[in-house]
Structure 1
Amino acid sequence: MAAVRAAKQALRKEIKRRVAALSDEEKQRQSRVLSRQLFSHPNYVSCKRIAVFLSTGDEVSTEEIIKDVFKCGKSCFIPRYQSSSNHMDMLKLNSLQDIETLPLTSWNIRQPPEDDISREEALSTGGLDLILMPGLGFDKSGKRLGRGKGYYDTYLERCIRHPKGKPYTIALSFKEQLCREIPVDDNDVLIDEVLYEKEE
């Protein structure tokens, strides 16, 4: 366990360095390429209920994706992380404008406040069809390196127990976030598919 943890820490540093070296233009360019790949993906086309992370500066931008989700009339859910534990809920986003009203957390992520109990929580209603997964690093076999808190792994465990079953999971990755192999332990849930810009 300790060896896996140490290997993950070293890899996190290395990937952060690689992503930090990318220009904003290059990040936007790759984000556009991945958005287009996603829009034609059969699991995206057919999904009705989708969970999308609100991207930060070092992640593939989900802005165009969220716009498209609303344009297509799909239900959009976004994460609310509890800073005191590894518990996360996916709460319904009502509109694009809704994002602007959300407060920023200490991690600089917009999310519904803890006392907002009016929003629909994905698992207490119809579950999810698709989750777009953030992460620091990925390999082509679906292993994911998160930020170490385990929010998504524990959320996926809850999804598996939901009557609808586990949603399809797609990670959005800059090429610079791809690794030959990510070290994993028993708690790490594999991702169904990693989207990245393929070399022509």
Structure 2
Amino acid sequence: MAALRAAKQALRKEIKKRVAALSDQEKARQSKVVSQKLFSHPKYTSSQRIAVFLSMHDEVRTEEILGDAFGKGKVCFIPKYLTANNSNHMDMLRLASLEDINTLPLTSWNIRQPGDDDNQREEALDSGGLDLILMPGLGFDKSGNRLGRGKGFYDTYLERCMAHPKGKPYTIALAFKEQLCQEVPVDQRDIHIDEVLYEDK
């Protein structure tokens, strides 16, 4: 376990360095390429209920994806991370519209998420479940192994999805090509991703 943790930490450091070297223009350019790939993806086209992460500065931008999803009449859910007491609990709460995002409070990670007193929003698993989850992460390999930030939010959430009558949603990771690795070290608790979208050479 300790060796695996150390390997993950070393890889996180290396990927962070690679992504930090990208200019904002390059991140925006690759984000556009990845978004276009997603828009023509049959799983995205056929999905009605999707979970989309609100991107941090070192992640593929998702604003255009949310705009497209709302434009196509999809139901969108975004993460709410509960970080008190080292919790790794995350809910996927419904977003009413694109404008709705601007009403959400900013977290210490500088991303928006519903506030703690926001009890009006539907949680995806309390209703119809999810068809598709767009996954963030620090690193990925081509076999669908994912290196997260070490908190296990998505792994835990996907376990909850598996217990839902609808079953596990399809998972697509969105990545800059600098986030691709030869091999991501994983253990049996790390959940495998169905597909990683990135700009091919």
2:32 aligned partner, one-letter code: R
TM-fit CA distance, 1:151: 0.1
Mapped to 1, the partners of 2:9 and 2:54 lie a distance apart of 24
Q: What is the TM-score when the length of structure 2 is the normalising length?
A: 0.98
| Residue number in structure 1 paired with 2:93 | 91
- For 1:114 and 1:142, the matched residues in 2 are separated by 33
- Report the equivalent of 1:117: 119
Report deviation, 1:115: 1.4
Residues 3-53 of structure 1: CA deviation (Å, up to 9, x unaligned) = 100000000000000000001111000000000000000000000000000
Is 1:161 the counterpart of 2:163? The answer is yes
Q: Secondary structure at the match of 2:73?
A: coil
Q: Which letter maps to 1:8?
A: K
5+ residue gaps, structure 2: none
Q: In 2, Cα distance between the equivalents of 1:114 and 1:162?
A: 24
SS of 2:181's equivalent in the other structure is: coil
The one-letter code of the counterpart of 1:182 is V
Distance, in Å, in 2 between the alignment partners of 1:114 and 1:189 is 28
Q: Report the Cα distance in structure 2 between the residues aligned to 1:114 and 1:121, rounded to whole angstroms.
A: 14
Matched, 1:14 2:14: yes
Q: Residue 99 of structure 1 aligns to a residue in which SS? A: helix
The one-letter amino acid paired with 1:173 is A
- Once the two structures are superposed, the pairs formed by residues 71-150 of structure 1 within 5 Å of their partners are 71-84=71-84, 85-150=87-152
- Tell me the distance in 2 between the aligned counterparts of 1:83 and 1:110: 14
How far off is 1:109 after superposition? 1.5
Shift of 1:123: 0.2
Amino acid at match of 2:155: D
Match of 1:171 in 2: 173
Whole-angstrom distance in 2 between the partners of 1:24 and 1:107: 18
RMSD: 0.5
Report the TM-score when normalising by structure 1: 0.99
Q: 1:114 Cα deviation (Å)? A: 1.4
Whole-angstrom distance in 2 between the partners of 1:145 and 1:194: 12
Aligned length: 199
State the secondary structure of the residue aligned to 1:26: helix
Counterpart Cα distance in 1 of 2:36 and 2:133: 17
How far residue 108 of structure 1 moved from its aligned partner, in angstroms, is: 1.2
